[in-house]
Structure 1
Amino acid sequence: MSQVSPGRFAGKVVVVTGAAQGIGRAVAARVAAEGAHTVLVDRAELIHDVAAALAGTSADGATAVGVTADLENYEGAGGAIEEALGLRGRIDVLINNVGGTIWAKPFEHYAPDEITKEIQRSLFPTLWTCRAVLPHMIGQQSGVIVNVASVATRGVNRVPYAAAKGGVKAITAALALEAAPHGIRVVATAPGGTEAPPRKVARGPQPEGDREKAWYQQIVDQTIESSLMKRYGTLDEQAGPIAFLASDEASYITGSVLAVAGGDLG
């Protein structure tokens, strides 16, 4: 982990969703190293092992706890936020990281139920958790919501995912207007392609056959070509901007979506 700012989140309660692996786990590790009391939310039971490991490496006095929840429905999202409040008493920062392409193929090959599942995976967790945490943040007249969108809103072979992440960008812009009078900032990053270890919990089925593998390769090729740097980013390169936007250093930034994709603006 590079460029850690010790004490930047000291005493703050930070909820990170989708924290069992990938960008979410990297962000949780980053803010914990900077003093945050973290609540890690994921539907995978793996989250409890991640939280336990994080608790052992957090900055002095910082704590970490895992919560299992399915954020694709309001009951799960509301329950996760209530559990976090019960454990920590307040929420200063919510980082919405749940989402990810399930299938990779031209739009005409998507079945209707697959389209629905993509939207449920990559739009509703952010929508529901924002709704669940908002009354609490309004009550304390402070808070930060950082949503994780994507530059894949302009990309090949994942139109439903693009629609969902476009919705995340819209949530960010519209909610920032409503939340600002209550001292709440709402911001987002839009990651590009990101290198990560093999997933312990798969997002969806692996490509089968030459045609599906070729469709996925088209995504990889287009992602690299669209980046001015002609490469994928690293987990640290994604976690750093998210942590910055969540911190008091970004106190005059709201309603903005920061592309973190080597020059690809999506």
Structure 2
Amino acid sequence: TGATTATITVDEAGTYSVTKMEDGCESSTSIVVSQSAAVEITDLDACADDLPLTIDATIANGTSYAWSGGSSINTAANTFSDAGSYSVTATDSYGCSSDDDFQLTVLETPEAAITETHSANAWFFDGTSSLYISSNTTYLWDFGYNGQTASTATATANYPWSDPSNPTTYTVTLTIDNGCGTDVTTMEVTPDPLGIGAIAEGSFGLYPNPATDNVNFVLANAASAKGTIEVMDVAGRVLSSQTIAAGQTTGEVNVSDLAAGSYLVKISVDGASSVNTLIKQ
């Protein structure tokens, strides 16, 4: 250390030597300072069927142990039957002590649950209200449409507009596994066939979207005067146009001649214009 005092204090393990000079005589000695690794126990998840659970806190050169709970509070290995917050202190043969806190969570077989919110044809699903979940719980969603799946705790699915005379219902399936068991639950959702609830004053909805041959439009309000509906490419070039009669609220546009891709549909009525995106399959 370079110290020149009769005593020193060290805070790291290692070999230390000292040389003493007295009356022209020199003598030296050394000492090895050892320190065992600190006790460390991570937070644990245990299945109820696996209780009682034995946890081992053994450290190198350990001589004594003190647990805050369990059935063997003065041994290196202790057995637990209940969830809770615990701590352990371990002391080695050099008199050095270390301690650690940990959380023991006991899991039952999970109970899957789904909550949802939605806007127009975008639906947000949440599986975190499921019971007996942990940081290691896995989620598998099947949204029942077009092969859409997800493997996160929360996920979003997009459904197409549908015929208002025959709205389509989809079955959403959630499978969860917390390592102690698996559970499956389902929810049926019926997207607003036109997204009417999401159509703002003066705007419109399209269905089906994506479309193959024909696409239907619906106005939030009946046109008070004649208007137009135009299909444009993404550069704004008008590809087709037709008239909307006064009082009209719905209509159909033939898009069968369009190549697959994204297009813009613009409706102009009563001195105002609105634009929606159309996907052509």
Q: TM-score, normalised by structure 2?
A: 0.22
More helix by share: 1
> Which entry has the higher C-alpha Rg, 1 or 2?
2
More strand by share: 2
- State the structure with bigger RCO (CA 8 A, min sep 6), 1 or 2: 1
Q: TM-score, normalised by structure 1?
A: 0.23
